Amino acid sequence: MESRIDRIKKQLHGASYKLTPQREATVRVLLENEEDHLSAEDVYLLVKEKAPEIGLATVYRTLELLTELKIVDKINFGDGVSRYDLRQEGAAHFHHHLVCIECGAVDEIQEDLLEDVEAVVEKRWNFQIKDHRLTFHGICWRCTEKHAEEKNKENVNNPNNNEDF
């Protein structure tokens, strides 16, 4: 954690920015909620817990800065809100997402999976890929399991249930 912050500090310095206390507090919130997909507002509320004097504008500015430096990626899942996602250290590309249309959960896929597709696109469309966004919308494993359980319960209560036939 500390070493991660140190490296981010160096990245900022490399682009002649400072890691101010407000920026550090913001980065810490992102690190502590690495698996979440927080909006600027979400980050603001969490940062305020440790640094109550921080302003919303500063959070927006910090997130913008981190995006510019490719420390975080900005993504929009279709609700009108931008969300901010720490990039895996050293990752060449942004990771992928599974958005559940039933429960709203957002799961991550860290594996690349797109290598072949990107080779085709670069060649056939003569397009130099710098980054990508890949999001699947569907039903997550938790919701699928829940459905199976419910169906089970139904059949126990009513063994002659023949909806399957």
Query: Residue ranges for the binding site for Fe cation?
Result: 115, 132
30 binds Zn ion (CB under 5 A): no
Q: How far is the CB of 28 from a second copy (least distance, A)?
A: 26
38 binds Zn ion (CB under 5 A): no
> For residue 107, what are the CA distances in angstroms to 41, 47, 50, 142, 159?
21, 23, 27, 11, 36
Q: How far is the CB of 127 from DNA (least distance, A)?
A: 26
103 binds Zn ion (CB under 5 A): yes
- The only residue of 108, 112, 118, 132 in contact with Zn ion, by rule CB under 5 A: 108
**CB–CB of 103/110 below 8 Å?**
no
Compose the 39-68 pattern: x for residues touching DNA by CB under 7 A, - for all others. Answer: xxx---------x-xxxxxx-xxx-x----
DSSP 55: -
Q: How far is the CB of 95 from a second copy (least distance, A)?
A: 13
**CB–CB of 88/71 below 8 Å?**
no
What whole-number distance in Å separates Cα of residue 38 and Cα of residue 61?
A: 15
140 Cβ contact partners less than 8 Å away, ≥ 6 residues apart: 98, 100, 102, 103, 105, 107
Binding site: what residues are annotated?
100, 103, 115, 132, 140, 143
What whole-number distance in Å separates Cα of residue 87 and Cα of residue 34?
A: 9
Q: Which does 165 bind (CB under 5 to 8 A by kind): DNA, Zn ion, a second copy, none?
A: none
What whole-number distance in Å separates Cα of residue 8 and Cα of residue 27?
A: 9
Q: Which does 134 bind (CB under 5 to 8 A by kind): a second copy, DNA, Zn ion, none?
A: a second copy
R_g of the chain computed on alpha carbons:
21
Q: Site residues (CB under 5 A) for Zn ion?
A: 85, 100, 102-103, 105, 108, 140, 143
Q: Site residues (CB under 7 A) for DNA?
A: 17-18, 20-23, 39-41, 51, 53-58, 60-62, 64, 80-82
